[in-house]
Amino acid sequence: MVDRRRVFVPGDSAARSVGADEVARRITQISSERGLEVEVVRNGSRGLYWLEPLVEVETPEGRIGYGPVTAAEVEGLVDVGFLDGGDHALKIGVTEEIPYLAKQDRFSFADIGVIDPFSTSDYRAHGGLSGLTKALSMSSQEIVAAVSDSGLRGRGGAGFPTGIKWQTVLDAVADEKFVCCNADEGDSGTFADRMVMEGEPFLLIESMAIAGVAVGASVGYVFIRSEYPDALSAMRRAVEVAYEEGWLGSDILGSSYRFDLHVKSGAGAYISGEEMAMLESVEGRRAVVRAKPPLPAIQGLFGKPTLVNNVLSLIAIPRILTGGSKEYRERGCARSRGTQVFQLAGNVAHPGIVEVPFGITLHELLYGFGGGSRSGRPIKAVQVGGPLGSYIAVSDFSMKVDYETFAQAGAMVGHGGIVVHDDNTDMGKMARFAMEFCAVESCGKCTPCRIGSVRGMEVIDRILAKHDVLDNLRLLDDLLETMTDGSLCAMGGLTPMPVRSILKNFSAELGIDSIDLVEIGRVV
């Protein structure tokens, strides 16, 4: 009996950016020419990006992968019988046995890249909706307690305990409350939120519905940056399906709960990812930061109590409910519980998603998983936590990655993005770029950020040009302190972090000798 074969060619936007659509078309075309019964599934990405487009075929031994495949190579693959796992130079074997994947602990990313993102039956077959079903059998307080007990902390960057946030919104008394998912993933080096929305959009929808049931909100918003057109259309399509299936709207899953979900698009502003500025964008205004307090949990969207969570925080919830808080809490170290979805990017041989418990060393991430630099040259530094994170030098690669260890070292885990630089990167230019980025993206509300970033570029330019280095270093130190202490939000407040880390770790590249640094003292 000849079965209809399932062939997986990721529809993930990154896989598409390197030719996955052409590969999918070619497979369909050649199969039909040869009378082969093939169903091409456009799954999400497994997050093994150096292998994209990664084509997988279902065999009795499991899913066998080939990659990176180009459209021109498809005919050759069909010739060697890749539909039955035939040998070919591009064959990498059973995908799940690739060490990169086998060594991971895919708690949140278990099904991303595995299932058809828009198939409700695939979703259910992989445990979809069991979290929401469980939530509907629990009281609001029980759900919030389960989240608190798990030890989950906000994955957007700040690391605030998620349970406390949920409790605050639950306890707030109001006629209306909202759940708002921050999917404005603007940090360079991060792409996990995008992969979730493109690869398993129902998981985010289910997670938000659980949040709504838990805190007493009947309306939710997903705010997605416009640089993610595929994620926007995937979420819109999935929301439509979810309404048809009765997962959203009135009486969700036959319960008495109502939950409506709206997808909102950004319009090209990094600052929209800042929690308070995002609420302004969702309300249709300029993304100008609001002063805190009041916290959004008390007075957020349209002045109502609002639960604001990142995509990665939310999607951990369904499995925390079904598997128990303990299952999550047992992973990780110290006060950093559970898994972190690390994203390896930049100059790295094996870029992609590495989901592992907190406590792994940078060295293991970069060499054990990342395979060193892509260029083959020595790694010089990694920037962790996005454009506002520290540059960490090779001598600190033995450091464990968790919130506390990083905070102690003057760094931050942020959203889990790690950008690798080899020895060709000019660190002086990166320090200047940190200020340039802030100058371009500042919302303009507070002076330390709006003006400080421009003055920062100027003063770093003078240092790089060796003009009055010592005086300009003092000025820079003063400026960094003002930005850190005087800015309204993390944009201006954390821009000094990458700059100071470069002053500390790579001072020679700024043309500063150690004597200057001793005189400045506090800069390091």
**Binding marks (x or -) toward other proteins, 157..176, rule CB under 8 A?**
--------------------
Q: Work out whether 419 is an interface residue with other proteins (CB under 8 A).
A: yes
Q: Reduce the DSSP state of residue 512 to 3 states and report it.
A: coil
Looking up tokens 């925390």, which residue turns up? 320
Q: Enumerate residues 310-349 that contact other proteins by CB under 8 A.
A: 343-347
Instruction: Find the shortest distance in angstroms from Cβ 245 to other proteins.
Output: 24
Distances, alpha carbon 69 to alpha carbons 22, 56, 78, 346, 467, in Å = 10, 10, 12, 22, 52
* Closer by beta carbon to other proteins, 274 or else 422: 422
Q: Work out whether 285 is an interface residue with other proteins (CB under 8 A).
A: yes
Q: Which stretch binds other proteins (CB under 8 A): 84-92, 184-192, 244-252, 464-472?
A: 184-192
Q: Work out whether 425 is an interface residue with other proteins (CB under 8 A).
A: yes
Nearest one of 225, 220, 257 to 239, comparing CA atoms: 220
CA 139 to centroid of chain Cα atoms = 30
Identify the residue among 56, 116, 275, 422 touching other proteins (CB under 8 A): 422
Identify the residue among 226, 398, 408, 514 touching other proteins (CB under 8 A): 226
419 DSSP β-pair partners: 345, 383
Q: Enumerate residues 49-108 that contact other proteins by CB under 8 A.
A: 49-50, 52
CA 263/CA 268 separation, integer angstroms = 16
Q: Which stretch binds other proteins (CB under 8 A): 1-9, 80-88, 179-187, 454-462?
A: 179-187
**Binding marks (x or -) toward other proteins, 248..277, rule CB under 8 A?**
----------------xxxxxxx-------
Instruction: Find the shortest distance in angstroms from Cβ 163 to other proteins.
Output: 29
Instruction: Find the shortest distance in angstroms from Cβ 80 to other proteins.
Output: 26
Task: Calculate ∠ Cα 84-89-93, nearest 5°.
Answer: 50
Nearest one of 189, 182, 277, 193 to 228, comparing CA atoms: 193
Q: Work out whether 191 is an interface residue with other proteins (CB under 8 A).
A: yes
Identify the residue among 57, 282, 316, 427 touching other proteins (CB under 8 A): 282
**Binding marks (x or -) toward other proteins, 349..388, rule CB under 8 A?**
--xx---------------------xx-------x---x-
Which residues contact residue 71 at a Cβ distance below 8 angstroms, ignoring those fewer than 6 apart?
A: 19, 22, 23, 25, 26
Q: How many Cβ atoms sit within 10 Å of the Cβ of residue 287? A: 23
Looking up tokens 């418990």, which residue turns up? 357
Identify the residue among 26, 46, 194, 432 touching other proteins (CB under 8 A): 194
CA 233/CA 240 separation, integer angstroms = 11
Instruction: Find the shortest distance in angstroms from Cβ 240 to other proteins.
Output: 16
Instruction: Find the shortest distance in angstroms from Cβ 492 to other proteins.
Output: 16
**Binding marks (x or -) toward other proteins, 296..315, rule CB under 8 A?**
------x-------------
CB 37 within 8 A of CB 4: yes
Q: How many residues lie near other proteins (CB under 8 A)?
A: 60
Instruction: Find the shortest distance in angstroms from Cβ 12 to other proteins.
Output: 10
> Based on the number of CB atoms within 10 Å of its own CB, is 498 exposed (0-12), middle (13-18) or buried (19 or more)?
buried
Question: For residue 159, what are its two tokens?
Answer: 């690391």
CB 79 within 8 A of CB 331: no
* Closer by beta carbon to other proteins, 155 or else 264: 264
Distances, alpha carbon 12 to alpha carbons 8, 34, 48, 214, 416, in Å = 11, 28, 12, 31, 20
Beta strand segments in 12-101, E: 38-41, 55-59, 62-66, 91-94
Q: Work out whether 228 is an interface residue with other proteins (CB under 8 A).
A: yes
Identify the residue among 111, 122, 185, 355 touching other proteins (CB under 8 A): 185
CA 339/CA 356 separation, integer angstroms = 5
CA 408/CA 334 separation, integer angstroms = 13
* Closer by beta carbon to other proteins, 436 or else 481: 436
**Binding marks (x or -) toward other proteins, 9..48, rule CB under 8 A?**
----xx-xxx----------------------------x-
* Closer by beta carbon to other proteins, 425 or else 487: 425
Give the residues lining the site for other proteins (CB under 8 A): 13-14, 16-18, 47, 49-50, 52, 185-191, 194, 226-231, 264-270, 281-287, 302, 343-347, 351-352, 374-375, 383, 387, 417, 419-422, 425, 430, 433, 437, 440-441
